[in-house]
Structure 1
């Protein structure tokens, strides 16, 4: 079925640094009860089930939900990139004590998230138009989770795949905090990006493919997580599934397949 365009936005040039991004059209489509966001191309950036706006519709967001294995009570979360606000809404709903700060360059993406993707207006959720890197440079707040999900019509901008960026993110984590990034599995440079992350985080990195050849979610830890035993994590994932109403075991198994040896009873960094 072809997508039905229900809204199309062209944003306004606000400063020279925003010119290129602000020229990209933002589109919202609906197919079979699922609303999706597109920026510059037909590629789906985010999707929302209209009858259940907080449900994690796309596979890569379900992989990101595995983050609750390592911290299910975060206090401060920073997200770079907003899209349709799937993960911001997820943390808002399921992490009741968390304050979430979302940085998004494109003002019309912010407008669309509020107008079409049920993004809550709440003091616990700050949405800021601006550059996430500049924000982290100017503010020394430490975060329990930093989520990097910044894409343009060509993929991940180079600045978000650099050693300097990963180092900056690491410097803004709490002692038990972790950095999570959404990468393209089909990008031939993705293995090198992962190697760079490993170098910055001293090898304390886990990765989970969301599908083939789709997204790869990388989690990098400032310090080793307190719990890496597979039986304990398996028990916890069952509790998380019940809490959020989403089946995660297939993604948990992918976590094990890619980050544990066959004779190991705990996750191992690769």
Structure 2
């Protein structure tokens, strides 16, 4: 399904609900066929296209899907950070996982997802309320695909700046598994926010995908290196495009080895 209208053409946002919990304020707004989840007043966390809740609006979430080239039918998928649930919906709808476990700190986020944002009721979706750090510490060798997307109202979570946390995430992969990390770009460097630490931790075995929104996605294998086969990736993306409604080719063209990225200043 393709979008009804370009996002910039939708009407002004209207507030559907404002929720206060122990971590601050959540707002759910609506503009035409879109609904948005905000942390606080300004931090847009998620966007849902209501006719198709499996639609991914943001470039960075679309880029995350490249991991499914190497893990086309994962049995165990874990998401650290649920947001509005679009990524979980997309994986469940288009990639036939055995189970998707989403770890979310805030119960109110889950409630908003079900009430307003089309969060899937699929029996394969298992939602855990709690701390991502505690969950991952207790879950070695537990998943084939691990998405890390931890952001708060004030910005990037402290966990996404800690080597020990990412080492535990890597240990949570089963043989042949893949870790996908959403990082902000550090200024205009072309490198992820925690790039030096990540390079020290993982060497140059991982791939990077910079996107226009300013994020950089990292794809880290459980072992060895990911082969960068762009011809095969393009064919895979072309096969997926009719069901997704958009092309993953722009992210494939931006895909690079970490060692091929800009040098650290």
- For the aligned pair, the TM-score class normalised by the smaller chain equals 0.7 to 0.9
1:157-236 equivalences in 2 (<5 Å): 157-185=157-185, 191=192, 193-212=194-213, 214-224=214-224, 227-236=227-236
* 1:169–1:56 CA distance, 2 compared to 1 (3 A): same
* 1:176–1:141 CA distance, 2 compared to 1 (3 A): closer
| Higher mean displacement: 134-143 or 222-231 | 222-231
SS of 1:167 mapped into structure 2: helix
TM-superposed CA distance for 1:234, in Å, is: 1.9
TM-superposed CA distance for 1:155, in Å, is: 1.0
SS of 1:165 mapped into structure 2: helix
For the residues of structure 2 that align with 1:149 and 1:192, how far apart are their CA atoms?
13
For the residues of structure 2 that align with 1:153 and 1:226, how far apart are their CA atoms?
33
As a proportion of its length, which structure holds more strand? 2
1:58-73 equivalences in 2 (<5 Å): 58-73=58-73
Hey, what does 1:245 align to over in structure 2?
A: 245
Hey, what does 1:31 align to over in structure 2?
A: 31
Structure 2: gaps (5+ residues) = 1-10
| Higher mean displacement: 71-80 or 51-60 | 51-60
User: Could you tell me whether the CA contact under 8 Å between 2:230 and 2:252 is conserved in 1?
Assistant: no
TM-superposed CA distance for 1:193, in Å, is: 1.0
For the residues of structure 2 that align with 1:80 and 1:97, how far apart are their CA atoms?
16
1:66-145 equivalences in 2 (<5 Å): 66-145=66-145
Structure 1: gaps (5+ residues) = 12-21, 261-267
TM-superposed CA distance for 1:6, in Å, is: 0.9
For the residues of structure 2 that align with 1:187 and 1:5, how far apart are their CA atoms?
32
* 1:178–1:112 CA distance, 2 compared to 1 (3 A): same
Query: Do residues 7 (structure 1) and 17 (structure 2) align?
Result: yes
| Higher mean displacement: 167-176 or 177-186 | 177-186
User: Could you tell me whether the CA contact under 8 Å between 2:140 and 2:173 is conserved in 1?
Assistant: no
Deviation above 3 Å: which 4+ runs of structure 1? 186-192, 224-227
TM-superposed CA distance for 1:217, in Å, is: 1.2
TM-superposed CA distance for 1:183, in Å, is: 1.4
User: Could you tell me whether the CA contact under 8 Å between 1:4 and 1:31 is conserved in 2?
Assistant: yes
Question: What is the CA deviation profile of residues 20-41 of structure 1, one whole-angstrom value per residue up to 9, with x for unaligned ones?
Answer: xx23111011123211110113
TM-superposed CA distance for 1:85, in Å, is: 0.7
Question: What is the CA deviation profile of residues 171-202 of structure 1, one whole-angstrom value per residue up to 9, with x for unaligned ones?
Answer: 11112111111112255896451232232223
For the residues of structure 2 that align with 1:245 and 1:125, how far apart are their CA atoms?
23
Matched pairs, number: 250
